[in-house]
Every structure is written in C-alpha cells, then in structure tokens.
Structure 1
Amino acid sequence: MDTEWLSGEDYPKDCVFCRIIHGEEEATFIYRDANVSAFLDIHPLFEGHVLVVPNKHFSNIMDVDSESLNATMQAAKLVSEMLVKNLKADGINIVHSTGKSAGQTIYHFHLHVLPRHAGDDVQFQRWWFSRSHKASREELDALGARIIR
C-alpha cells in the first residue's frame, strides 16, 4: 500500500505502534488507510485478534481527536465484518484500556478486536457478573451526579 501520506509525520520513536505504522517494525496488516491501521496482535488471545490503531499518535482515549476516533471505530467495524465473514466468528469483543490500572501497556490509543467462537472457553460474561452487583436506583443517581458535576 502507498504510505506517502506518512512522510514527514513526527511521532514518538519509542512507540512500537508508531514504528509499525511507519514501517520500522514488521506487522501483518489487515487494513490500512490514511487515518488508521489494523494489524494482527503478536500476542493473540484468539486466532484473528486484531489491533486497530489511529495512524496519529495519541496516548489514550482522552487524547484522541474526533476524526481519528471515528476512523478507528469505523475500521473496527470493518475488521469485525471481515472476521465474521472470513474466520466464521460467532461474535466479536472490542476491548480498550486506558491507564496502567486498566492494564494499558502500550501508550498509543488502540482497540483490540477479538473474534469469538462458541466454546472458545473465555467467559467474559461469567467473569463480569461474578464481579458486579445490582445497583439500587439511589446508588446510580448519586453516582451519576458525581460523574457529571
């Protein structure tokens, strides 16, 4: 693919995703355009685990601009469709982490697109419900007021 649109772009040299986008590190690209790149994760949770990354460097979701965020989500949708069609995925999880406490290890905003198959033995829903509780209306209203103040 023509990557002339990358010429002259300044980026942090210590960012592995920036180095991949600029051709300094190898990757298996699934999709690329002027705004976003999608490539296979080198530590896949499932076969077909894809990372969708804006071509501009943003550390996390709070830093990313609207154009890049929209392009990243559109690419995640396209990649999801490819995984369902070509790998016969039964479902898709899209995962993002911002911050060390959330598990972020690469500080370049990205989405994990995970193809799911019946019987793949990763039970997000079981884990989720084992860790959650039914919140009361009062709890939700009080928390909502704290968030929007």
Structure 2
Amino acid sequence: MAETLPSSVPEAAVVLVDTNVFALVPTHHYAGIKGNCLVVPRSHYENVFDIPDNLGSDFFRATRHLAHAMRDTFRCEGISTRQHNGPAGDQDVWHFHLHVFPRYSNDGLRVGQKVPYTTEERMELAASLRAALG
C-alpha cells in the first residue's frame, strides 16, 4: 500500500497523484524556465540503485502526462527530464525524484542558475498544470 504524501509537501504545489508516484512544482526553477516539476515515489528510495523496476511504468506515465500538460499550458517546444544519483552524479536530495522541464529553443537550461519561486508563482503554476491534467 502506498504511503500518504509527506506532510512537508504543500498540497497546493502537487499537480498529479497516482498510486505509487506524485508530481509537484518544486521550490526552484532554473534559467527562468518556469513550470518544471518533480515526479517522486510515494515510498522512500534513495536513488536509482534502490528503486524497484516495477515503478518504471509509473514514472513514465506521470512524465508523459506532465509533458502533455506542459505543452498545452506553457506552449513549450519540447520537454527534458533529468535525474541525479550519488555525489558524483550531483545528487543533493537523498530521495529519488525525476525532474521534468518545459523547454524552449536556446532557453539556457544547461547553464541556468537555480532561482526560488515565490509562493504565489509556485501555486499558480501548479494550479495551471492541475487544470491541464484534468
């Protein structure tokens, strides 16, 4: 049975909830590209080395749904995903999660700085994505 969502996650930031995963707008964006999300397992797994194989389809399904919602909501030209494992892999949060980014030509994501959302921005983006996901 899946665990409930962590109490540290504000409900208004959550855009998708499934049996084994959920997605939320995080507290930061990169390079001014707003609307990024994290897909997170509802149970704790530290990294890709720990996550069970059977959750792969849950992550893919959530990512695909987010991709469609981002394209419809933000009119982005593409989608990128990113996931980090271990210190040498730049992991800095010790709970597996997958980044999903709306992308635009020459958007600078690869060199962009991490910038915090205002609470209002974060909640508005989450509401827009929830609406697009239906």
Choose from 23, 37, 43 the match for 1:38: 23
Task: List runs of 5+ in structure 2 lacking aligned partners.
Answer: 112-134
Structure 2 residue 38 is matched with structure 1 residue 54: no
User: How far apart are 1:5 and its partner, in Å?
Assistant: 5.3
Asked if 2 retains the 8 angstrom alpha-carbon contact of 1:91 and 1:115, the reply is: yes
Asked if 1 retains the 8 angstrom alpha-carbon contact of 2:2 and 2:42, the reply is: no
Tell me which stretches of 4 or more aligned residues in structure 1 moved more than 4 Å: none
Asked if 1 retains the 8 angstrom alpha-carbon contact of 2:2 and 2:20, the reply is: no
After superposition, residues 6-85 of structure 1 pair within 5 angstroms as 6=3, 21-26=5-10, 28-45=13-30, 46-85=33-72
Paired residue for 1:114?
A: 101
SS of residue matched to 2:109: coil
Q: Whose relative contact order is higher, 1 or 2, with alpha carbons under 8 Å and at least 6 apart?
A: 2
For residues 9 and 70 of structure 2, what CA distance do their matches in structure 1 show? 24
User: How far apart are 1:24 and its partner, in Å?
Assistant: 3.5
Asked if 2 retains the 8 angstrom alpha-carbon contact of 1:54 and 1:69, the reply is: no
For residues 39 and 89 of structure 1, what CA distance do their matches in structure 2 show? 18
Structure 2 residue 64 is matched with structure 1 residue 92: no
Q: One-letter code of the match for 2:24?
A: F
Larger radius of gyration: 1
The change in CA–CA distance for 1:55 and 1:5 in structure 2 (over 3 A counts) is: closer
- RMSD value over aligned CA atoms? 2.0
Q: TM-score normalised to the size of structure 1? A: 0.65
Alignment identity in percent? Answer: 25
Count of aligned positions:
108
- Listed one character per residue, the Cα deviations across residues 4-56 of structure 1 (whole Å, up to 9, x for unaligned) are 9536xxxxxxxxxxxxx223432501111111100001111120110001111
SS of residue matched to 1:25: coil
